[in-house]
Amino acid sequence: THFGYQTVPESEKAGRVAQVFHSVAKNYDLMNDVMSGGLHRVWKHFTVHTARVPVGGKVLDIAGGTGDLSRGWAKRVGKSGEVWLTDINSSMLTVGRDRLLDEGLILPVAVCDAEQLPFPDNYFDLVSVSFGLRNMTHKDVALAEMYRVLKPGGTLLVLEFSKVYAPLEGVYDWYSFKLLPAMGKWIAKDEASYQYLAESIRMHPDQETLKQMMLEAGFDQVDYHNLTAGVVALHKGVKF
């Protein structure tokens, strides 16, 4: 595109991602609402309410950040269930844990890297990762870990930015490379982090590529559902 990418070398990616999320943690929820016009709530609601997850089930929310999906899962599985809110970033988790506590929800919270999950094999009924996979350096390793910790019959859900329908590309580019960093600068006083956000979205594999990656990680019945004209896609895969 004519906007150009400032690509981050792989060796620097994890450090850059850590810096971005330590810096945005406090404003993260506000910025999500502002930048998506509240749509992220709709995408997450769709994810939580179309999922098949048993009451009493065990759920792992990876890259869970401030805990939007975890809250939804906790309601779905009920008091007999087990929902882990995890993220590699302690600042994001602190905001999330405090917010859930204020709402009266106590969940186990753990700092962990998706590429090296501290959970046994075949443990969870459902694993979710929303707006997290694109930040991971080795997505194949992370997907393999997600596969490992799922029970046979368990489901992986990946909610992530994806490739927008072609007629909307121009306006979407303008939005994400011009307006978004400007809003980041104005509201969060942090233009660089929101510039990274736009770039990381463009670099992320599109719908079909991610589907292929999930198949390669061993998942079956892999499919996806586009939301908001492909701005976001929800991928689903089952471990047999």
Interacting residue ranges for ligand SAM, rule: CB under 6 A: 17, 21, 62-66, 68-69, 87-89, 92, 113-115, 130-132, 135-136
Q: Is 128 annotated as contributing to ligand binding?
A: no
With H, G, I as helix, E, B as strand and everything else as coil, classify residue 96. helix
Q: From the CB of residue 19, how many other CB atoms can be counted at a distance below 10 Å?
A: 15
- Using Cβ positions, the residue closest to ligand SAM within the complex turns out to be 65
Q: Which is nearer to ligand SAM, 29 or 152 (CB)?
A: 29
With H, G, I as helix, E, B as strand and everything else as coil, classify residue 129. strand
Q: Which is nearer to ligand SAM, 113 or 199 (CB)?
A: 113
Q: How far apart are CA 76 and CA 54, in angstroms?
A: 8
Of the CA atoms within 13 Å of residue 26, those in its CB half-sphere come to 5
Backbone phi and psi for residue 62, each to the nearest 5 degrees, phi listed first: -95, 145
Q: Is 98 annotated as contributing to ligand binding?
A: no
Q: Residue 240 Cβ, how far from ligand SAM at the closest point, in Å?
A: 25
Q: Is 86 annotated as contributing to ligand binding?
A: no
Q: Which is nearer to ligand SAM, 129 or 167 (CB)?
A: 129
Q: Is 162 annotated as contributing to ligand binding?
A: no
List 168's β-bridge partners, or say none. Answer: none
Q: Is 87 annotated as contributing to ligand binding?
A: yes
Q: Which is nearer to ligand SAM, 58 or 134 (CB)?
A: 134
Q: How far apart are CA 119 and CA 86, in angstroms?
A: 11
In contact, 44 and 159? CB cutoff 8 Å:
yes
Q: Residue 2 Cβ, how far from ligand SAM at the closest point, in Å?
A: 26
Q: Residue 162 Cβ, how far from ligand SAM at the closest point, in Å?
A: 14
* Residues annotated in a binding site for S-adenosyl-L-methionine: 66, 87, 113-114, 130
